[in-house]
Chain A
């Protein structure tokens, strides 16, 4: 049901540009106004979210330690999973952000009821699927930079050649397009097929997946099936980036659909769970070293609290203390 809501929402987002840019021909709206608007919302939204996190205090140093602490010199420390320096913490963060190290630990529990045995198997599919999705998304995004640069920096051409290394088809098939579709399909299917995941999945979880699906599919359609004129599209994208918007007449509704879906993603991004992109950098259980006993951490809002002082306590127990022969301050 939740998936259905999301599907309807994404279908609506497909129909809007087909009608608006296709049937009604509002090219300026869909080709210029909305992209500028969406990009602005994305940038301001992203910044405001990160700033709002940044404005919240970090009162305590609470890393989750995933290995041996640094203690006695002859005990081998787990430097990355239990970092004691800023440098090691940065390494931990890099491995977390680029390689999803925590997810790599994933296990799956099984309960055999007949003999009451629990077993914990390694479970790397989520890690693989997530990494496949994020890497191909990043490569596809980088490949698109050729629409916004002139001359195209050589690094983007390299990336494109690497992505098309299979040398299949005309135009050359990009590996990332296959991978991202498979990864999205995996991420979607596990939400539908695993009962616990289906139970926790919200419409927004499906919405993000469907929206990405629609973006990828519309892109693939344009490249292989309903060919769009790349040179004309580049006129439009370069016009946007140079603040001299131009609308080449030949651009069809499919491109505007692709663009509108991307705009939708940009607008949606800062207000959604997709902000894990920014949030992962600020997670206090990962971005702090476990050096609490060595370096002082200050809580900006630390305040005095009501205490039961020794003097008060001794007043209450003095007779008993003396009787028991325990030393006291005041006789």
Chain B
């Protein structure tokens, strides 16, 4: 494992001056510990993608042992995707290299590497497109910014398309809406064709397909975890609650990212959901088959995404539920909002979601039948059906991080803020250029949240952490809230590195702290077992 430089040294190492060497063919990528993710295990490529001839390899190898006809494979794959995705074709053709995107990328801001400017990241692919798929490019070659497909180009792709978290911040600022996430997804699909893939993505994909969630938690262990949480909830509130699993005929199927039942602080958010539903008397069920809302398929290929996502509708149909409720997760909501119905719908067996508590009909989800938990909870609060005591969160000075996908692939901005403002008394926004649609990635999205990539994660997370530091210093913020499981996994180390005084929470952990349940005992602690304000001694 690489030694991550100290925050001071990291900042001093950032140099926005580009190298003197030309990027086209004179600046090969330098793999060093800390700036790349480990390759996928051959067995997982074989079992999931039925990829033959997968090998053990390292990006640091001189020779990547590519198949003999690898260029042909890439060309063929490229041609196919240009035909299947207008986005790719248009984005390959129309960039004018105005540079508006350059300093919008968190990896560029944190590394200064010019190939992390979204424009140049896309040019890594575009240069091949221009050379081999355009008439002028074939004639003009290098003058037109074209280059041949060499092993060094492929190494560059691996380096920089796995230094992109598909956050779409650049796309917001692009005058043509060119979306680097789309380009990165295509490049990753192309690399897949050669078995070039990372372990941190392939592992979760395989687990999710075979077992039911990214972390490979089998159903009986899932049950154990839930029982454990139920015990904890009883300790804190004095209330024993039931958690339905795979219950047929329930009104609602509830799907969460598996991070929420795997590790702190996501587990507190999960406890928060369970307490809220119990208090409401909601007729819902969790599933141990569709036990994953997140979808690492999004980070590897459209086909993988579809294969994993299909479980949710299939399970909703089998259990006979009326609609689906989704937990706090970022990229999960990109998949649900922009892909699920197209890929695996229409889910005719579902009805238009209707809150059984308030009677509110969620017309905005009438086609997909799936509602976001903060939409659901915001509606509960608006209708005054929850007994909330926000002062129980008074020891927390909270800010809120918009996760990239709910912000820029959905526009879920006010719902979580409304919820937070009703369960906390001390809420402070980060600077406007770092929140809402302009939000910065945690630095670990799109399957990059692995240990070996820590240095780049600290770099990429710097803009977010810097904004947190700003409100920490200005308002004494000590709690960073978010609605994303990857955030909840990525932020604790990021905060530890940049702003150690700040802790991380999900929104429904805050909700559950403030939620006064009927017949509960007088609470002494919050969900983490830490004393409530006024109960410190």
Q: Interface on A for B, CB 8 Å cutoff?
A: 5, 49, 52-72, 74-76, 78, 81-82, 96, 100, 102-103, 105-109, 111, 113, 116-118, 120, 126, 130, 190, 194-205, 271-273, 275-276, 279-280, 282-286, 290, 292-299, 301-302, 305-310, 313-314, 317, 320-321, 323-327
Contact = CB atoms under 8 A, between A and B. Distances in A.
A220 B466 CA distance: 51
Nearest to B168: A64
Contact of A204 (B93, B145, B470): B145
B134 A64 contact: no
B88 to A, nearest CB: 8
Given A75-B418, A102-B173, A326 B246 contact: yes
B54 interface: no
Interface string B138-156: 0010011100000000000
A276 B176 CA distance: 8
Residue with the greatest number of chain B CB neighbours at <10 A, chosen from A293, A308, A314, A317: A293
Contacts of B220: 317, 320-321, 323-324, 326
Nearest to A74: B382
Interface in B270-298: 288-289
B109 A111 contact: yes
A296 B18 contact: no
A78 B437 CA distance: 11
| Interface residues of B, dominant DSSP | helix
Interface string B51-92: 000000000000000000000000000000011111111110
Given A113-B12, A298-B342, A317-B219, 4 more contacts: A65-B411, A96-B175, A293-B364, A308-B307
A102 B90 contact: no
16 contacts: A58-B87, A65-B408, A67-B437, A68-B413, A71-B415, A72-B382, A116-B469, A118-B466, A130-B175, A200-B102, A203-B144, A205-B97, A283-B91, A284-B90, A297-B341, A327-B248
Contact of A111 (B14, B143, B212, B345): B14
Contacts of B310: 305, 307
B317 to A, nearest CB: 9
B171 interface: yes
Given A65-B408, A78-B411, A103 B378 contact: no
Interface of B: 7-8, 11-12, 14, 16-18, 23, 82-91, 93-100, 102-104, 109, 114, 117, 119-120, 123, 134-136, 140, 143-145, 168, 171-179, 182, 209-210, 212, 218-220, 223-224, 245-248, 288-289, 302-303, 306-307, 310-311, 314-315, 318, 336-339, 341-343, 345-346, 360, 362-368, 370, 375, 378-379, 382, 407-415, 418, 431, 433-434, 436-438, 462-463, 466-467, 469-470
A238 B38 CA distance: 67
A57 B177 contact: no
| Interface residues of A, dominant DSSP | loop
Contacts of A283: 87, 90-91, 94, 176-178
Given A75-B418, A196-B102, A296 B342 contact: yes
A282 B86 CA distance: 8
A311 B134 CA distance: 49
Contacts of B288: 321, 326
Contact of B100 (A71, A106, A314): A106
B338 A60 contact: yes
A293 B94 contact: no
B135 to A, nearest CB: 6
A60 B309 CA distance: 15
A67 B23 CA distance: 35
A56 B177 contact: no
Contact of B342 (A82, A302, A309): A302
A61 B140 CA distance: 35
A311 to B, nearest CB: 9
